[in-house]
Amino acid sequence: MIGTPIFDVFSTLLAGVNHASRFNDGGALAAGAWMIPVVPMVMAFLIVFFGKRSPWKGWVMATGTMLFVAIYGMALFLMNLVEGITYQGSVWLSDVGTTAFGVLNVEWGWMVDGLSIMMYFLVGVVGVLIFWYARGYMEDDVRYTWFFASFTLFAGGMLVLVSAPNLIQLIVGWELVGVSSYLLIGHYWEEHQNSSAAIKAFMTNKVADVGLFVGAIIIGVSVGSFRFSEILGVVEGESGDSTLAKYAFWAGLAIFIGAMGKSAQFPLHVWLPDAMAGPTPVSALMHAATMVTAGVYLIGRLFPFYMNDLFASDVRTVIIIVGAATLLLAGLLALVQDDIKRVLAYSTLSQLGYMTAAMGAGAYTAGLFHLFTHGFFKALLFLGAGSIIHAVHSNNMSDMGGLRKYMPRTFWTFLIGSFALAGIFPLAGFWSKDEILASIQYDASHGGGAVASTVLVVAIIGAFVTALYMTRTVYLTFFGKYKGDAHPHESPKTMTLPMVGLTIGAVGLGALNIPGITTWFTDSLAARFVAPGDHHATSIEWVLAIIGTAAALAGIALGYRLWHRDAAIQRDRDTFRIPVLYPLLENKYYIDDFYMGNIIRPVRGPLARAVDWFNSHIIDSVVNGAGYLARGLGKTVYLFDQRGIDGVINVSGFAASFAGGMLRLFQTGRVQHYAIMIFAGTVFLVVGLIIF
């Protein structure tokens, strides 16, 4: 609450402040939800200091923390399904300035509504399964404890982000996620390519973050507050004359640029495939529940701002085009990858494109439902890939083949995850992807025009491509003869049981949102202070469902035709080499080459040399000159101190010491001496008086 002194933070947290509600306030459960982001953040530091002395060297502390988040998130999720919850608590920290619209202040707080609860549940449940899996995967790692400290910080940063009731706290969480990802992607920093991948991810996101910062400043200054409730309150008032409305397009576009970087949308996608350099559990958590979902979450949090025609609705055209381009172009890139994790990385890019396109089409529920279901089956696929890598000691599918005989549990769970990703009925991916297609069709017939119609076609083609590259992955990995040098084996239950748990989610979570039958997810997601105002399917669009399923089945059929036959080596078996298209895909559309040739090398070359010259000759000269001047002044002061001040002090001390020594001769302590001195003094005074 504004004005709450910092020393009253603890009591404020317990009491819950700034509470407003359109639905149920969630009671003590919502009031105490501040612990969801705080506990992981505190635990990350405790693991650093005490992890090596704890059971399993920090794993128990980390996994216990995620279990706490999972249980708390699940309790809120179930309560929100029964009746919607809206709650907001905050603690005033500092005023940072004044605008024409009010005092800007910094607050720390926590948001409990349909959107944040969904993310608490997703991060907690998926996170605890991945953390459990990581115990077996990272068992022999030389930085085992440090890994779990960074991993916990990663999850905690995401929870700070999704719990944020204002843009400032969201940016803090945003940057915590970025720093944590840098640490985790570069976990094996001894190899140059890994540290380079971490730097690439960090720097690409920093470029995009400029957009987020600019957009946040425009919105905060225009409204006089960084709070989402107050920003969206202005939007809900529909005042076209407001300052926010005047700058809404540019603010919305800048915010979306920030989201593009974090959710790796074209052309800012280049960091995500290289991020596979990190341990596989990191890839799983990053692609399923943290980091890359943050951009989609941000658009969802500000969704009414993008939906209102008086504000940033024009930005939605940019959003849907970028999403459509990403979903198709990234999906095609997955067709030519040999590294199994890179296949899944490009798959994530493609699915994020679906979510982004849905947001651009005004389909808040559809986009976030796909984010929710995708979190489970994509985490499952990454853990399956990690299980395979753990068994064959290679990321490359050219070193695989025939693994279904050696790894049956991994095979069946990976196959189910692949079907869910491809959108095969009745798995969760079918329901969420079908709702996106239906929502884009609705947008095409209600003002979206040719753009939305084109995006719908692209999305259907994307479903075909998704099924095609996942069929390729399954056949090259699990069928035919094994072509590696290691001795493959099934992973321990520590790793396979979390995969089974994720499989249950990949199969059953679609039942939460079947249009016209179950609307639990739609209703719970609508629990917000300001209604999102989206459109969502109210019944199953059977024609689109059949078309989407047919596209996926066609992709599987073509994949079977291309890759079911074995060959002596995987290269001969991998027959997807269409002239012109294959070199284009193999070189990743030459986008990395463009960045290297037109941005990185110029920065490293003339610009870097110019900066180095300026630093060496100008800045260093100024610094060195200041140093020489300071040293000369120091010598002068030293001489003055030694021969001036010290001389005076030393002479004074010597005089006092001499006088004291002389006086001591007369201080014998004998009374007769003092009597003689008094008598002599008296005689001296009398004689003096007589003479003078």
Q: Secondary structure of 522-576 in the HEC alphabet? A: HHHHCCCCCCCCCCCCCCCCHHHHHHHHHHHHHHHHHHHHHHCCCCCCHHHHCCC
Query: CA 288, 429, 342: angle at the middle one, nearest 5?
Result: 45
Q: 506-520: per-residue pLDDT in tens?
A: 999 999 999 889 989
Whole-number pLDDT of residue 536: 81
Side chain identity at residue 386, one-letter code: G
- What are the tokens at 357? 């396109």
Checking if the pLDDT of 45 tops 60, the result is yes
Q: The dihedral of CA 626, 629, 631, 633: what is its sign?
A: negative
Mean pLDDT, the chain, rounded, equals 88
Taking the C-alpha atoms of residue 234 and residue 220, their distance in angstroms, rounded to an integer, is 12
Percent of the chain with pLDDT over 70: 94
Q: Are 528 and 444 in contact (CB under 8 A)?
A: no
Binned at pLDDT 50, 70 and 90, residue 7 comes out as: very low
Which of 8-17, 86-95, 399-408, 593-602 has the lowest average pLDDT?
Answer: 8-17
Checking if the pLDDT of 3 tops 70, the result is no
SS3 for 603? helix
Three-state secondary structure string covering 237-256: CCCCCCHHHHCHHHHHHHHH
Whole-number pLDDT of residue 571: 80
Whole-number pLDDT of residue 454: 95
Q: 195-206: per-residue pLDDT in tens?
A: 889 999 999 999
Query: Nearest CA to 304 among 516, 30, 113, 172?
Result: 113
- What are the tokens at 13? 């947290």
Whole-number pLDDT of residue 8: 38
Q: The dihedral of CA 444, 448, 451, 452: what is its sign?
A: negative
Binned at pLDDT 50, 70 and 90, residue 99 comes out as: low
Residue 518: strand pairing partners: 514
Taking the C-alpha atoms of residue 418 and residue 377, their distance in angstroms, rounded to an integer, is 8
Binned at pLDDT 50, 70 and 90, residue 251 comes out as: very high
Whole-number pLDDT of residue 240: 64
Average pLDDT of span 499-512: 94
Count of alpha carbons within 13 angstroms of residue 439, beta-carbon side = 28
SS3 for 329? helix
Whole-number pLDDT of residue 2: 35
Taking the C-alpha atoms of residue 161 and residue 370, their distance in angstroms, rounded to an integer, is 20
Q: 548-600: per-residue pLDDT in tens?
A: 999 999 999 999 999 988 888 888 888 777 888 888 988 888 888 888 888 87
Taking the C-alpha atoms of residue 84 and residue 72, their distance in angstroms, rounded to an integer, is 16
Percent of the chain with pLDDT over 90: 57
Phi, psi of 636 (to 5 degrees): -65, -45
Taking the C-alpha atoms of residue 134 and residue 126, their distance in angstroms, rounded to an integer, is 12
Q: 365-415: per-residue pLDDT in tens?
A: 999 999 999 999 999 999 999 999 999 999 999 999 899 999 999 999 999
Q: 457-489: per-residue pLDDT in tens?
A: 999 999 999 999 999 999 999 998 998 888 899
Biggest distance spanned by C-alpha atoms of the chain: 142
Total residues found in the chain within this entry: 692
Q: 627-672: per-residue pLDDT in tens?
A: 899 988 888 888 887 777 877 888 888 888 887 777 676 666 677 7
Residue 339: strand pairing partners: 396
pTM: 0.84
Taking the C-alpha atoms of residue 642 and residue 486, their distance in angstroms, rounded to an integer, is 76
